[in-house]
Amino acid sequence: MPASPLRRFARREWGGLAARVRGALVTRRWRAIPLTLAAVALCATFQAVQNQSWGYQFVQDIGSVRSGDPLLLSLVRTPLSLFVPALDLPVWGALAQILLVFGIAEICLGRWKTLFLAYVATLSGTMYARLGVALGPGSPIGLPEADKHVMDTGPSAAVVGLALYVCRRVGAYWTGGAVVVAMVVEVIVKTNLAGKEHIAALLGVAVLMLIEAAVRRRRKHRGQPRHRGEGTAHDGRVEGTAPHDRAEGAPPHDRGEGAPPHDRGEGAPPIQS
Q: For residues 198 and 187, what is the distance between their CA atoms, to the nearest angstrom?
A: 9
Q: For residues 229 and 235, what is the distance between their CA atoms, to the nearest angstrom?
A: 11
The helix, strand and coil proportions of the chain, stated in percent and rounded to the nearest 5, come to 65, 0, 35
**What DSSP assignment string belongs to 162-184?**
HHHHHHHHHT-HHHHHHHHHHHH
| Pair 161, 240: CB distance under 8 Å | no
- Residue 16's pLDDT is 87
Q: Residue 238: what are its φ and ψ, rounded to 5°?
A: -70, 130
Q: 263 to each of 34, 43, 152, 237, how far by Cα in Å?
A: 75, 85, 85, 22
Q: What are the residues facing 84 on neighbouring strands?
A: none
- Residue 224's pLDDT is 63
Tens-binned pLDDT, residue by residue, of the chain (273 aa): 567 888 888 888 888 899 999 999 999 999 999 999 999 999 999 999 999 989 999 999 999 999 889 999 999 999 999 999 988 888 999 999 999 999 999 999 999 999 999 999 999 999 999 999 999 988 889 899 889 888 889 999 999 999 999 999 999 999 999 999 999 999 999 888 889 999 999 999 999 999 999 998 888 888 765 544 444 444 444 444 444 444 444 444 444 444 444 444 444 444 443
Q: For residues 101 and 39, what is the distance between their CA atoms, to the nearest angstrom?
A: 12
- Residue 270's pLDDT is 43
Task: Encode pLDDT of 23-34 as tens digits.
Answer: 999 999 999 999
Q: For residues 111 and 34, what is the distance between their CA atoms, to the nearest angstrom?
A: 8
- Residue 45's pLDDT is 96
- Residue 239's pLDDT is 43
Q: 78 to each of 9, 81, 100, how far by Cα in Å?
A: 39, 5, 22
pTM for the structure as a whole: 0.77
